[in-house]
Structure 1
Amino acid sequence: MVDASSAFQDSLPVSSDDLLARMRAAGLDFEFYEHIPLRTVEDAKTVQGGAVPAGDGRIDIKNFYLRDRKKRNHLVVLEQDREVDLKALGAQMGVAGLSFGSAERLMEFLGVRPGAVSPLAMVNGAGAGVQLWMDAAVRDAGFVHAHPLVNDRTVAIRPADLVALLEEWGADLAWLEL
């Protein structure tokens, strides 16, 4: 069975290895960690402070691929413990009828499988018209932990470097003050 781990990265539009090579070629300084596959925030908490360092201004995130009533695609990146009310979130974003996108649309628009969603999926999403929304807490962190298109790897990257990378890809980024 195909899952979101690096074992199946070659079936993605952009492999995790290719993304990491692109990040290195761009001169980005980031930390790289391999660990068990993480499908949920609860799974992620089992490796935080162990396989993936914690503290020092680091922020762990959760990511939602959403569609609105007008069938527009949104990637929402929040601090991992942030409570989410989709109706209130939609109001802040200025969109109505937010719902979770299907696994098929997730692959079509972001090029990843469930469990591996992250802002780094905008390497595919920017060209597919996905709107990126990020929690302002991400901007203010020392490092952001994100999956590089698979869920058994994590990179720690400075927010300014992440934003520069997203801008290079042409991502449409908006900040959420929650």
Structure 2
Amino acid sequence: MTETPEGLLARLEAAGIEARTVPHPPLFTVAESRALRGDLPGLHSKNLFLRRKEGGFALAVLEEGRQLRVNELARRAGWGRVSMGSAEELRAVLGVEPGSVTPFGLVHAAPGTVRVVLDAALAEAPALVWFHPLVNTASTGLAPEALLRFLRGLGHEVTVLDLNPA
């Protein structure tokens, strides 16, 4: 069964996680997000849904300004060769549409089916971190440790990775 944004927010609340959700026009790129951000203090993300050549999928949750080649990211994460996941795979695995990729989509994925890397810049942020709540017409901010607790509570292993230049 597909989770709704309202259901996701209810799950967060039931887990005792404080979150702030702000509606906005649909956003498809980091540039659009920056232009319409308004009063959303904290760090913002860009998320990459990838297909692993050896099988399975990966999700990279990166600080929005992170500059890193996909192959370099995959090497540092230990994923082997990767390519961008298709829209159909994204819908089937994370239950979201292109432009709405979010770690919250892991509510739809069985534990162990998606390898997850969280940029240390987000994991160690002293403020809220922001993600789409399954749709790109809103942003939800929460504490980084709350995000990790929520994802791990769903049964997903999350690797925090320092992605600063080596």
TM-score clears 0.5 = yes
Unaligned ranges ≥5, structure 2: none
Q: Tell me the equivalent position of 1:148.
A: 133
SS at match of 1:95: coil
| Per-residue deviation, 1:93 | 1.3
- 1:47 equivalent to 2:26? Answer no
| Per-residue deviation, 1:128 | 6.5
Task: Quickly say closer, same or farther: Cα 1:80–1:126, change in 2 above 3 A.
Answer: farther
- 1:139 equivalent to 2:128? Answer no
Q: State how far apart, in whole Å, the 2-side matches of 1:103 and 1:96 are.
A: 21
Q: Would you say the 8 A contact 2:112–2:156 is kept in 1?
A: no
SS at match of 2:117: strand
Moved over 6 A (4+): none
Q: State how far apart, in whole Å, the 2-side matches of 1:127 and 1:177 are.
A: 23
- The correspondence for 2:11, drawn from 22, 30, 47, is 22
SS at match of 2:27: coil
The aligned runs of 1:1-178 (5 Å cut-off) are 13-48=2-37, 50=38, 52-54=39-41, 58-127=42-111, 129-141=113-125, 142-178=127-163
| Per-residue deviation, 1:95 | 2.4
Q: TM-score, normalised by structure 2?
A: 0.92
Q: State how far apart, in whole Å, the 1-side matches of 2:130 and 2:66 are.
A: 15
Task: Quickly say closer, same or farther: Cα 1:126–1:80, change in 2 above 3 A.
Answer: farther
| Per-residue deviation, 1:71 | 2.2
Q: Would you say the 8 A contact 1:62–1:78 is kept in 2?
A: yes
SS at match of 1:91: helix
Q: 1:6-38: per-residue Cα shift (whole Å, max 9, x none)?
A: xxxxxx811111111111122211111000001
| Per-residue deviation, 1:96 | 2.2
Identity %: 35
RMSD, aligned CA: 1.4
Q: TM-score, normalised by structure 1?
A: 0.86
Q: Would you say the 8 A contact 1:135–1:175 is kept in 2?
A: yes
Q: Would you say the 8 A contact 1:109–1:128 is kept in 2?
A: no
SS at match of 1:84: coil
Q: Would you say the 8 A contact 1:29–1:157 is kept in 2?
A: yes
One-letter code aligned to 1:112: V
SS at match of 2:99: coil
Range moving further from structure 2, 19-28 or 70-79: 19-28
SS at match of 1:175: strand
